[in-house]
């Protein structure tokens, strides 16, 4: 996916952050940190796969013998394949070198961490995410390019949906169509498709089901796929026939909130400020109580990662940060709406990685 030298550079940066924070070893298992650091995505199985990065010393990928052929050999780390009768926890601990503090990947199975804690009582285990997020939060040019390509592929899906008939089809049927289109437009895989119609729209993560979409329904469609390991994630809104006044009023408020929030993206602006701007406009429009989630989440090799655009996150935005700006209004029993674009922080502002029409689409 990326050249060998990139992984070596990532591991060097990891060691620098470890030194800074007094972490003696970084140990990452299943989850997104492993492909980021080693270019290998471990299957979510019961056997231990773990990249062990001592603060001083070579990194080693501990991998079950039968999975080893799937690992791309890289100069940045050694590969140590363990056999069925070996004790992989002991191997990982030996490679870590009994550090005082070890940072452990968030997605590591609890049973491995519990075994490590029991066998290495002098080591304090801390979460790896604050450390790995420090590396992953600034995307390099190649990562930005993949996110841009994924975003534009999702935009082509959005453009095609405008001319689809919604009435008479179920949410699940539209979701199936969206998944097909995500792949047709260039994603390696479709990751998710939320289709929430009528009152279901008021549930932000509604699971599309057998509800048949009818005349007068608002439909929230939130979808994304993975391209070259990086995700797209965008939300657009459809209405079967002309919307009633209250819906149209809410949509105008939402549209203004999303635009203003995206406009405000620039290096140095605290992440929470983007949330405040969107929330302020929605509250001023009289819909504040119906905006029930944070304004956005970082995106990259995970759909949700740092930085989170939420009150309390005062971290200043930096060039290379990529995140969603997705305010929503959810009126229980009536309708929901959300406008979502991925934005990348540039040297002096923000770049929308989604450029499909953000207006409400009237469909049949
Ligand atoms: Zn969501
Ligand atoms: Zn989304
Ligand atoms: Zn999102």
Reported as a single tens digit per residue, the pLDDT across 146-202 is 999 999 999 999 999 999 999 999 999 999 999 999 999 999 999 999 999 999 999
User: 305 alpha carbon to ligand 2 midpoint, in Å?
Assistant: 13
Pairing, β 234-240 against β 361-363: parallel
User: 291 alpha carbon to ligand 2 midpoint, in Å?
Assistant: 15
Q: What does the alpha-carbon distance between residue 224 and residue 187 come to, in Å, rounded to a whole number?
A: 9
| Nearest-5° Cα angle at 327, 326 to 331 | 130
Q: Classify burial at 305, counting beta carbons within 10 Å of its beta carbon; exposed 0-12, middle 13-18, buried 19 or more.
A: buried
| Mean pLDDT for the stretch of residues 127-137 | 96
Encode pLDDT of 263-277 as tens digits.
Answer: 999 999 999 999 999
What pLDDT is recorded for position 56?
87
| Mean pLDDT for the stretch of residues 109-125 | 97
- What are the structural domains of the chain? 7-136 (3.40.350.10), 141-363 (3.90.230.10)
Query: For the whole prediction, is pTM greater than 0.85?
Result: yes
Pairing, β 218-227 against β 234-240: antiparallel
Q: Which ligand is nearest to the CA of 323?
A: 3
User: 25 alpha carbon to ligand 3 midpoint, in Å?
Assistant: 33
Q: Which ligand is nearest to the CA of 298?
A: 3
Q: Which ligand is nearest to the CA of 325?
A: 3
Q: Classify burial at 216, counting beta carbons within 10 Å of its beta carbon; exposed 0-12, middle 13-18, buried 19 or more.
A: middle
Closest CA to 343 of 311, 361, 317, 310: 317
Query: Can you say whether the dihedral through the CA atoms of 308, 318, 228, 354 is positive or negative?
Result: positive
Put the strands of the sheet holding 101-104 in their side by side order.
Answer: 77-82, 59-64, 50-54, 25-28, 101-104, 124-127
55 and 46 Cβ atoms separated by less than 8 Å: no
User: 353 alpha carbon to ligand 3 midpoint, in Å?
Assistant: 13
In the structure, what pLDDT confidence band is assigned to residue 224 with cuts at 50, 70 and 90?
very high
60 and 40 Cβ atoms separated by less than 8 Å: no
CB under 8 Å to 181, separation ≥6 — which residues? 156, 157, 160, 161
What pLDDT is recorded for position 340?
98
Q: Which helix (H) or strand (E) covers residue 230, if one does?
A: strand 230-231
Q: Which ligand is nearest to the CA of 296?
A: 3
In the structure, what pLDDT confidence band is assigned to residue 298 with cuts at 50, 70 and 90?
very high
- Judge whether residue 343 has pLDDT over 80: yes
* pLDDT more than 90, % of the chain: 97
- Judge whether residue 1 has pLDDT over 90: no
| Mean pLDDT for the stretch of residues 239-252 | 98
Q: Which ligand is nearest to the CA of 302?
A: 3
What pLDDT is recorded for position 304?
97
Helices (H), the chain: 4-21, 33-38, 88-96, 110-119, 129-136, 141-161, 171-184, 245-263, 271-284
User: 355 alpha carbon to ligand 1 midpoint, in Å?
Assistant: 19
| pLDDT, averaged across the chain | 97
- Judge whether residue 231 has pLDDT over 80: yes
User: 340 alpha carbon to ligand 2 midpoint, in Å?
Assistant: 6
Structure tokens at 325: 């700006």
User: 209 alpha carbon to ligand 2 midpoint, in Å?
Assistant: 18
272 phi and psi angles, rounded to 5 deg:
-65, -25
User: 121 alpha carbon to ligand 3 midpoint, in Å?
Assistant: 40
- Judge whether residue 349 has pLDDT over 80: yes
Q: What does the alpha-carbon distance between residue 155 and residue 167 come to, in Å, rounded to a whole number?
A: 22
**Which residues fall inside 5 Å of ion ligand 3, going by CB?**
233, 324
What pLDDT is recorded for position 278?
98
């Amino acid at each position: 996916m990326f050249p060998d030298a990139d992984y070596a550079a990532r591991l060097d940066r990891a060691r620098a952050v470890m030194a800074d924070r007094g972490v003696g070893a970084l140990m990452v298992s299943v989850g997104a940190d492993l492909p980021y650091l080693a270019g290998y995505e471990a299957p979510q199985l019961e056997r231990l796969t773990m990249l062990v990065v001592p603060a001083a010393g070579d990194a080693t990928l501990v991998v079950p013998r039968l999975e080893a052929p799937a690992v791309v050999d890289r100069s940045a780390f050694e590969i140590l394949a363990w056999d069925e009768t070996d004790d992989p926890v002991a191997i990982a601990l030996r490679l870590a070198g009994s550090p005082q503090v070890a940072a452990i990947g968030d997605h590591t199975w609890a049973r491995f961490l519990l075994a490590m804690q029991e066998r290495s009582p002098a080591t304090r285990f801390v979460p790896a995410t604050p450390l790995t997020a420090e590396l992953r939060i600034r995307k390099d040019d190649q990562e930005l390019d993949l996110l841009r390509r994924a975003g534009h592929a999702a935009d082509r899906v959005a453009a095609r949906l405008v001319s689809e008939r919604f009435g008479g089809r179920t949410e699940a049927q539209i979701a199936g169509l969206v998944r097909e289109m995500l792949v047709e437009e260039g994603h390696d895989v479709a990751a998710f498709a939320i289709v929430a119609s009528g009152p279901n729209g008021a549930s932000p993560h509604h699971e599309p089901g057998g509800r048949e979409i009818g005349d007068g329904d608002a439909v929230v469609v939130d979808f994304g796929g993975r391209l070259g390991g990086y995700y797209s994630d965008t939300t657009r809104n459809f209405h079967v026939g002309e919307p009633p006044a209250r819906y149209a009023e809410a949509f105008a408020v939402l549209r203004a909130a999303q635009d203003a929030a995206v406009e405000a993206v620039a290096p140095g602006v605290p992440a929470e400020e983007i949330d405040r701007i969107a929330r302020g406009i929605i509250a001023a429009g009289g819909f504040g109580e119906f905006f029930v989630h944070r304004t956005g989440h970082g995106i990259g090799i995970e759909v949700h990662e740092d930085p989170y655009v939420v009150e309390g996150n005062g971290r200043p935005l930096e060039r290379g940060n990529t995140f969603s700006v997705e305010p929503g209004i959810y009126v229980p029993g009536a309708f929901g709406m959300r406008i979502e674009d991925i934005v990348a922080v540039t040297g002096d502002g923000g770049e929308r990685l989604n450029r499909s029409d953000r207006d409400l689409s009237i469909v049949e």
